[in-house]
Structure 1
């Protein structure tokens, strides 16, 4: 029997979860410092934001996280990489709403609200090591990827090109959420996915990391 893991699907156009959205302008719950690319020095483009939702999405002690990546023209920044500095996750504690720094100069992505819907996935199949898997396990992995929500919080990362879990503080980071490029039109390679992770150590200076994979 499949090991089914409780999780929440991120539903495009959903409601009931204030501050959960893709595109548009970020909505700070405290002081949000607009980030710049470590490679080219230009402001990053805002992708999406997720709030702390007790019982469903634990981001404490932060009230929300904001994800950005480099999409400046005429650059070769490695925006898909979790450690190259061409994307970043800004974690914000609750306070007076404020925004600091220069914004991305181009147009924002179209704005979508996000809701949270209950879902299930085959944790055992999604967790298989593709380098050591049998043909039967690989077939189960393909089925699990098709059946699991493409955009979600919790559960197991649904990798498109093999496990790329980043490390922080000498340990693998904990999976938080993933977001599919479509229907939002986000630039994650060819119809890819973006993945959000959190460091397991309290007090880490960079508690969240983001990366993406193309299909």
Structure 2
């Protein structure tokens, strides 16, 4: 896997076309992923957040309709069981287990089959207008695809922050290593971690 830095664009790019989505959805169902939370994946997200020093970390499986955070780490530690993003006060929503496919940066990682490093998403018009910037205040992102033995990108592992972050080569190496580790665990899967 190589690092292909995003290039500033002159226009906003909507969620990329995902021709692999039907095959991914079938593969996720075969593996029993993307529908239920699993404590092992929450623990994986906790470890990822710690390694990256990030307030948010996710194990994200993406089907044809939505994103599902099967593993989730949030700053206050109050990880929801299963719910969509909801508002805990009148101004700021809380990240839940589900997110629309047009929110965030993971759909781009899945379609590209490459890691994505955004040290400050506002520097890239292609990504700056994404809903997670305004709704959740996300300003930096680091994610890598979970590509299984069939060549399908099942989803991502990612971290994000509300501040710009110089993730650097160390961050990229960490996220790619964690993605590879989780793919190995998924491939050994026979009904549980």
TM-score by length of 1: 0.28
Which is greater in Rg?
1
Q: Which structure has the highest strand share of the two?
A: 1
Q: Which structure has the highest helix share of the two?
A: 2
